[in-house]
Amino acid sequence: MTVDIASDLTEIEKDALAEIANLGVSRAANSLRQMLGEQVFLTVPNVQIVGRQAASDLIGRGSRSPRFVAVQQSFDGPFAGKALLIFPEEQSLELVRTIVGEQHSLEDVIDLEQEALAETGNVILNACLATIANLLRRTMNMSLPAVIRGSGEALFGETAGNDNLVLFLYINFRTKERDIHGFIALLMDLPSITALKTIVTDYIRVIESGADQPRP
Amino acid sequence: MSYNILIVDDSKLARMVVTSALRRIRPDWTITEATSGEEALTAVQKGGVQIALIDFNMPGMDGLALVAKLRQTDAHMPIAVVSANLQDEIIARARELNAAFVGKPLTDEALGAFLAGAALRLKKAPS
């Protein structure tokens, strides 16, 4: 069942979250560009409050691949959640090869795959989350990256009976030359949504007052 | 000298950030807002826009495509592309189109520097 109570977020809250995510992911795109050596195109962000099943459906719909590899990092602070860098599984080796260089043999690339994915995810997700944390003037702790594989459901930790509502923000990206594509997604559960709403409201109020300047 | 500045961004929050920075830096300038490339083109066609601040990542026409369109009829209007997307290609394309690049999150310092340059260019330009 698709549960969509996005009306729980006001228009301006939704707009603010999308813009904040956009800033984070745009910065992260530059890190990805440097690692891949080619331009990265982004879509505009999508913000929804949905069940976990609907979140995995959204990822499934955005890709022809049924299986994914993802680098996941949990974050924790005034609000908590998971950040994921997601690729179709069949692109994983191509991605690693692009990052480590064409001169390596396939065996080397396979050996390096797990480590290279974790490191790539770490750089990209940190670039994204650090920008968001700085913007909102909050400190966030991040876990070490973990590489997970499986269907969309597996990525979002969905188990039977756990179709909890989550705040789901995602952006698609693809590279210019090699057509490597994937998603950067942020997932937060309901208590965090409430905390985040308060922080975003404060942030909007500061901007409206014109008295202060959001910190770069 | 007061100018009319066009802010193009699909995000209301982003437009609020720019507007509030402009009120601090250039309180006497007037502001026109557009939420898409199409709206921006209409606003410019109506006339009176002297400077433009354009977001890059927007649905439909992106910011660089909009700058390219604007340049077909106006080679000299001071334009800045405003984005957190600092990829070389995007900054290089902005330069090719004779536009500045201002990073997001926006700072008063970066915006102020662009506006000072823009005001100077408009003053020197033959009217």
Q: Are A182 and A90 in contact (CB under 8 A)?
A: no
CATH label of the domain that carries residue B39:
3.40.50.2300
| Chain B neighbors of A24, CB-CB under 8 A | 84
| Chain B neighbors of A26, CB-CB under 8 A | 56-57, 83-86, 104
Is the CA virtual torsion A22, A24, A28, A30 positive or negative? positive
Segment among A151-160, A178-187, B36-45 with least mean pLDDT: A151-160
Within chain B, how many helices (H) and strands (E) appear?
A: 5, 5
Within chain A, how many helices (H) and strands (E) appear?
A: 6, 8
Domain extent at residue B12 = 4-124
Q: How far apart are CA A33 and CA A75, in angstroms?
A: 24
| Chain A neighbors of B89, CB-CB under 8 A | 33, 39, 176
pLDDT digits (tens, 9 = 90+) for A7-43: 478 899 999 999 999 999 999 999 999 888 899 999 9
Q: How far apart are CA A57 and CA A51, in angstroms?
A: 10
Give the mean model confidence (pLDDT) for residues A134-163.
Answer: 82
Q: Is the pLDDT of residue A79 over 50?
A: yes
B94 touches A at CB < 8 Å: no
Say how far residue A72 (Cα) sits from the centre of its chain: 9
Distance from CA of A87 to the nearest CA of B (A): 21
Would you state the pLDDT for residue B1? 84
Q: Two tokens at B117?
A: 């340059």
Give the number of domains in chain B. Answer: 1
What share of chain B has pLDDT > 90, as a percent?
92
Amino acid at residue number B118: A
Q: What is the dihedral of CA A39, A45, A51, A54, to 10 degrees?
A: -60
Query: What fold, for A6-206?
Result: Chemotaxis protein chec (3.40.1550)
Check B85 against A30: CB less than 8 A apart: yes
Would you state the pLDDT for residue B61? 96
Distance from CA of B124 to the nearest CA of A (A): 31
Say how far residue B98 (Cα) sits from the centre of its chain: 12
pLDDT digits (tens, 9 = 90+) for B68-127: 999 999 999 999 999 999 899 999 999 999 999 999 989 999 999 999 999 999 998 765
What pTM was computed for the model? 0.84
Q: How far apart are CA A49 and CA A167, in angstroms?
A: 4
Instruction: Please compute, for residue A72, the number of CA atoms within 13 A of its CA located in the half-sphere on the CB side.
Output: 17
B64 touches A at CB < 8 Å: no
A28 touches B at CB < 8 Å: no
Q: Is the pLDDT of residue A156 over 70?
A: yes
Q: Is the ipTM of this complex over 0.85?
A: no
Q: How far apart are CA B3 and CA B122, in angstroms?
A: 9
Does residue A45 have a cis bond before it (omega within 30 degrees)?
A: no
CA angle A3/B60/B50 to nearest 5° reads: 130
Give the mean model confidence (pLDDT) for residues A93-106.
Answer: 85
Would you state the pLDDT for residue A66? 81
Domain residues of chain A, as ranges? 6-206
